[in-house]
Amino acid sequence: MKTFDAGVYINQGYYKSFQPNLIDKAWKLDDMELIQLLGNADRQIGRLDMYSKYVPNLDMFIQMHVAKEATQSSKIEGTKTNITDAMMEKEDIASNRVDDWIEVQNYISAMNYGVERLQHLPFSSRLIKDTHKVLLKGSRGEQKHPGNFRTSQNWIGGATINDAKFIPPVHTSIAELMSDLEKFAHNETAYFPELLKIALIHYQFETIHPFLDGNGRIGRLFITLYLVSKGILNQPILYLSDFFEKNRSNYFDNLMNVRERNDINHWFKFFLVGIIETATKGIETFDKILQLQKTIELKINTLGSRAANAQKVVHHLFQKPIINTAVIGKAADLSAASAYKLARDMERLGIFIETTGGQRGKIYVFEEYLNLFR
């Protein structure tokens, strides 16, 4: 795409905003290295999707993948919550970290909401707005008009607009730009590979920056929504935020290089490498989960008549690997005394570890499983 033209800077008086060009048109690939990477990315994401079909109870594990995505995407924006914190209850979080915890929980809720809404809505501005509303609910950004495109100028980096690293387009052009983005997403007359299409959509969305807050998180979140909506993934099992966070400087630099130098090819290559690495790692993680399941099953079978109750608890642990005796009792329908005895047996077998060291308020962590996502 040597002829790619990202847009122009427009003088707005005491600052210059960037006005991106429309993207809903025919594109031609002319970089053989990019085409080769695209083929590899298609193969790896296909392997991941095929592998997931053979994982029993896949839904049970998806929530941990969503939680990891939530922590890594939020970490890019500066939050301090990790995967362990994300699995804890609000009352167990230090007061100075509650705001970060809420933002991560909102991301999890927004992803789940978006996937569910795809059954009734196409990938669209409406879906993005509705999901954005969930993302900011009750968080530090709840005063930034959740679910509505901005009606004022925003900027990226810097304390004021005067020292901003990047200034998105004026708000009066958002409706046209987002309409163009949506048309491009559904354009079936001008063929363009779907993985490159979502890479370009993500770039364009982050450039438009249509909301006053949450643009980075919602933009990364809808990469997965898009792949599911197009049938590339049957389930939401591929998340790029971990790759973006580990390569944060390259992530932001590649986006800026498109705007400054029209260098879309390097952005595409970076994005496809992320797909390849993330899909490969996803397959390895699912394989380790299946091995862990077999190990846990053997341990549970030694409990005799209590094995069925232990299995119910383990089923809960694979969705939320931090637990207390109250949750154990609820999961297995046991009295408090019986739940405590079962917890003691499961701790003795090494299925989980107790982390508080106290006699009351014990918290148990499914450490082996949690480590697969750290």
Check for a shared fold between 7-285 and 288-371: no
Q: Can you tell me the distance from the alpha carbon of 326 to that of 338, in angstroms, rounded to the nearest whole number?
A: 11
- Which of 215, 80, 204 lies closest to 156, judged by CA? 215
Q: What is the amino acid identity at position 345?
A: D
User: Helix (H, G, I), strand (E, B), or coil: what is residue 323?
Assistant: strand
Could you give the CA distance from residue 231 to residue 81 in angstroms, rounded to a whole number?
32
pLDDT at 92: 80
Residue 277, by phi and psi: left (phi above 0), alpha (psi -120 to 50) or beta? Answer: alpha
The closest alpha carbon to 204, from 224, 187, 182, belongs to 182
Q: Which CATH architecture has domain 288-371?
A: Orthogonal Bundle (1.10)
Query: Residues 205-241: pLDDT tens digits?
Result: 999 999 999 999 999 999 999 999 999 999 899 999 9
The model's confidence at residue 81, banded by pLDDT at 50, 70 and 90, is confident
- The β-bridge relationship of strands 16-20 and 353-354 is unpaired
pLDDT band, very low/low/confident/very high, at 79 (cuts 50, 70, 90): confident
**Could you report the per-residue pLDDT of 24-78, keeping only the tens digit for each?**
999 999 899 999 999 999 999 999 999 888 887 788 788 888 889 999 999 998 8
Domain ranges of the chain: 7-285, 288-371
Terminus-to-terminus CA distance in the chain, angstroms? Answer: 37
Question: How distant is the alpha carbon of residue 307 from its chain centre?
Answer: 35
pLDDT of residue 86: 84
20 membership: H or E segment, kind and range: strand 16-20
pTM for the complete prediction?
A: 0.92
Q: 7-285: which CATH architecture?
A: Orthogonal Bundle (1.10)
The predicted-structure confidence for 302-359, as pLDDT tens digits, reads as follows: 999 989 999 999 999 998 899 888 989 999 999 999 999 999 999 999 999 998 877 7
Rounded CA-CA distance 208/55 in Å is: 39
> Are 236 and 62 within 8 A, CB to CB?
yes
At 62 the pLDDT is 86
Contacts of 334 (CB under 8 A, 6+ apart): 309, 328, 342
Q: How many residues does the chain have?
A: 374
pLDDT per residue as tens digits for the range 8-26? 999 999 999 999 999 999 9
Query: Are the CB atoms for 283 and 48 separated by under 8 Å?
Result: yes
Rounded to the nearest 5°, which phi and psi values hold at 74? -70, -30
Contact 179, 22 (CB under 8 A): no
pLDDT at residue 271, as a whole number: 98
For 127, phi then psi, to 5°, come to -65, -45
Q: What is the mean pLDDT of the chain?
A: 92
